[in-house]
Structure 1
Amino acid sequence: MLHIFILFALFFSSTSHASVQDFCVADLKGPDSPAGFFCKAPANVTVDDFVFTGLKLAGNTSNIISAAVSPAFVAQFPGVNGLGLSIARLDLAPAGVIPLHTHPGASEILLVVHGKITVGFISSANSVYVKTLKRGEVFVFPQGLLHFQVNAAGYKATAFASFNSPNPGLQITDFALFANNLTSALVEKTTFLDHAQVKKLKAILGGTG
């Protein structure tokens, strides 16, 4: 038995460093794919590849939704490539809203650090789960489900969202319906909205058709 143990110890000590790749910093000059970006050559990797400073400042909330999302996904933060995680900052002015949207590639966990935010998601069975969060409280959004965040107070709110993917993806329902060239007739037919409302929303969000 002792001989077997020694043989295993020798085997693992001789192979433990043979095939380990500690990281795969994204080479953003190359193509993206479902498997991620190609890795930068280790000789070209620096400590700055593992640092992202873009979440220090609040995003610009002077827009139609009175809110801003500042992502630290792989495209902004190459060091998260292949690690199965990323983060973003959410800033919501009074009355700010992150509209119904999905992340096809990741689940999300949200931590409120300032203000109050009403959050929720809709399950595939059309059950609704809504809660108003205060500072220090956390909420989880399962992967691929429609969800939202709304400022629930009369002052600014800030939160940080973490994802279990370096590239969680994003599709905002309103933009998917009204910010493209899908014909108004088809939008009306598939949403049961009237013609005037569809035309109004297309005009606001930049859609045509």
Structure 2
Amino acid sequence: MGSKYFVVFLTLCALASSLVLASDPSPLQDFCVAIAEPKDAVFVNGKFCKNPKLATADDFFLKGLNIPGDTSNPQGSNVTQANVAQIPGLNTLGISLVRIDYAPYGLNPPHTHPRATEVLQVVYGSLYVGFVTSNPENRLISKVLYEGDVFVFPVGLIHFQFNVGKTPAVAFAGLSSQNPGVITIANAVFGSNPPISDDVLAKAFQVDKKVVDLLQAQFSK
């Protein structure tokens, strides 16, 4: 009986292993609508691959992350991206990088990356950072970071960074996708095109429609 159960155990292990290996890759776009006619199709993830024999060093190179981003905006922050759109050689490699500049008391507002975990290092200044766990707890996990400190934001969770200092701050972050995507919460909810019904938003946020109208006016494009 012992050997019989051992064989069953090995069979289940092999099956589990094959299921893991056969799983779909993570999507690198918001959606992909199935289509029956190939002539109307596009490549998934929107990228063709260059013949590897024609690849050059410039396909894997980007300059300029030493240049501060313009933080003269209402949020007082600027994100300089280094993903597959800027570095073609990142395609299929599953990583990217950003530089984030913060004016004094500047904010990188609450947002999510639907396709990536983020690991952030403070290079200069001090940042109050945090993320919120899933429903129903909605627990805030936060910390003040200083130069050299590192913090991780798990994939898909709402997170933010706020410069708590009187001087500019700089951070670099790595993300586990060549196209991580970003959804800024306030922009998505109050600045969608066309707008979400104020009836929906008023009930969702338990506020008067006038408040919703005011917020939509702030974030409308």
TM-score by length of 1: 0.80
> Distance between the aligned counterparts of 2:211 and 2:109, measured in 1?
18
Is the Cα contact below 8 Å between 1:54 and 1:70 reproduced in 2? Answer: no
- Is 1:169 the counterpart of 2:181? The answer is yes
Q: Alignment length, in residue pairs?
A: 176
Deviations, residues 143-187 of structure 1 (Å, cap 9, x unaligned):
000000000101100000100110111101001111121122211
Structural mapping, 1:1-209, within 5 Å: 33-34=44-45, 37-124=47-134, 125-180=137-192, 181-206=195-220
One-letter code aligned to 2:149: E
Once the two structures are superposed, residues 15-48 of structure 1 have per-residue CA deviations (whole angstroms, 9 ceiling, x without a partner) of: xxxxxxxxxxxxxxxx6634x6221122331101
Across the aligned residues of Structure 1 and Structure 2, the Cα RMSD in angstroms comes to 1.4
Deviations 1:70-126 (A, max 9, x none): 111111111111111100000000121011110010100000000001100001131
Shift of 1:202: 1.1
Partner of 1:25: none
Q: Where do 5+ consecutive residues of structure 1 fail to align? A: 1-30
Greater share of residues in helix: 2
Q: Distance in 1 between matches of 2:174 and 2:159?
A: 15
> Which amino acid in structure 2 is aligned with residue 135 of structure 1?
E
The answer (yes or no) to whether the contact 1:84–1:166 under 8 Å persists in 2 is yes
Letter of the aligned partner of 2:184 in structure 1?
I
What fraction of aligned residue pairs are identical, expressed as a percent?
A: 43
Cα distance in 1 for partners of 2:180, 2:103 equals 24
Match of 1:10 in 2: none
Contact in 2 for aligned 1:54/1:72 (Cα 8 Å): no
The answer as to whether partners of 1:71 and 1:88 remain within 8 angstroms in 2 is yes
Please give the secondary structure, in 2, of the residue aligned with 1:83.
Answer: coil
Query: Structure 1 stretches (4+) deviating beyond 3 angstroms?
Result: none
* Amino acid corresponding to residue 56 of structure 2 in structure 1: T
User: What's the secondary structure of 1:161's corresponding residue?
Assistant: strand
SS at match of 1:202: helix
CA distance in 1, matches of 2:53, 2:186: 44
